[in-house]
Amino acid sequence: MIQYNRFILENGLRVLVHEDTSTPLAVVNIMYDVGSWDENPEKTGFAHLFEHLMFGGSLHIPDYDEPLQKAGGENNAYTTNDLTNYYSQLPAQNIETAFWLESDRMLSLAFGKKSLEVQRKVVIEEFKEHYINKPYGDAWHKLRELAYKVHPYRWMVIGKELSHVENAQLEDVKGFFFKHYRPVNAIMVVTGNVKTGDIKVLAEKWFGDIPKGEKYVRSLPAEPVQTAPRELTVYADVPLDAFYKTWHMDSRLEKGYYVAELLTEILSGGGSSRLFQSLVKEKRLFSQIDCHNSGSIDRGLIAIEGKLVLGVKIEDAEKAVEEELSKLKNELINDAELQKVKNKTESALAFEDMSIMNRANSLAFYELLGDANLMNIELERYQQITAEEVQQYSRTIFDVNNSSTLHYLRKEAAPPPLKGNL
């Protein structure tokens, strides 16, 4: 059980403190309730752009990294569809340095054309490197657009189009910041060798005077239930044919999410998993194959993707995947296999909570979901799942009408163009 204390400043900033005297370190984690799902469909990539801009200097501090490094600290950040998270780890006696840095950039960034241009170039190069020039790099761009029609999960965190970041204006950036990066939309978690009383004093000193801002109320279009299979075939300059298939699944707090988590372990959780044993080791249809889910707060996707062995037909590979899914639908998983994946899940959760950095991140995330104590009871939800529920959920989500399939094939496999009439 992870013990923590919680208080809220008058400006709405939620603060959680987890005391751990076994370490000389401390972590300051600030999670903002903003992700790519909050973007204008015509101006995507802003949440991720801000992940970079937040390190480009704030109102009174021109360089974020240098003071933190002098205090013996390190930092990083990440953006998802659902949230943006910033975290620093440093010696506990120097923790006020992190409070000073984080409060100043929450107060206001040092908005300027130079900073925007520098970070814009960084993001543009990242987009090109990972999503345009990399083999299979645009696969998930295409797959999301295939699976989602109205929900903002239909675009990647990096953005829907490179032009959206290229054309971002300073006023757009300012508007996004003051709409989302406010105390009332933030959660601060402090973990490590600290005392809650001291953290209260520091929080009031450094964050108490920052204007509250307006509470952001999210209103997203609900994705309609998919009623027919969707398919797309792409030919590109890639070394191997690739297979991608997704199905819509339940949201993060629904029971189906936990069943889907176990299903991904059953299908591809290591060398003894079903897909690896059958399709890689025995039938040798795939050189690699994986099953995972998007882990998103709203209704996400469970996906199977893999690279085919050279010479294997995509139809044969897909048929073999469907046969494995049919086994889940028609045969109850035995107790030993189900308990094995539950044990593996328990180990993963325990391992995640070993570091104070991961504890800080988890507490912030569960607080964002609505209750930080969910961190302490999630394992029970996995343990309660039965073999019958696994089978029923497999039948529900692995429905052909709930599926979107992408065949990402080598150019040389493309059919010849049709000849025009002479």
Q: What is the pLDDT of residue 113?
A: 85
Reported as a pLDDT band with limits 50, 70 and 90, residue 422 is: very low
CA distance 234 to 261: 29
pLDDT, tens digit (0-9, with 9 covering 90-100), for 370-404: 999 999 999 999 999 999 999 999 999 999 999 99
pLDDT, tens digit (0-9, with 9 covering 90-100), for 172-181: 888 999 999 9
**pLDDT more than 90, % of the chain:** 87
From the number of C-beta atoms within 10 Å of its C-beta (0-12, 13-18, 19+), residue 30 rates as buried
Backbone φ and ψ of 292, nearest 5°:
-155, 170
pLDDT at 352 over 90: no
pLDDT at 414 over 80: no
Token readout for 299 is: 């209704």
Q: What is the pLDDT averaged over residues 271-288?
A: 96
Q: In what order do the strands lie in the sheet with 242-248?
A: 230-236, 403-410, 242-248, 301-308, 286-293
Give whole-number Cα distances, 67 to 54, 95, 198, in Å. Answer: 15, 12, 21
Q: What is the pLDDT of residue 194?
A: 98
420 or 126, higher pLDDT = 126
Q: What is the pLDDT of residue 421?
A: 47
pTM for the predicted model, two decimal places = 0.94
CA distance 106 to 178: 9
pLDDT, tens digit (0-9, with 9 covering 90-100), for 198-208: 999 999 999 99
Handedness of CA 148, 150, 152, 156 (dihedral sign): positive
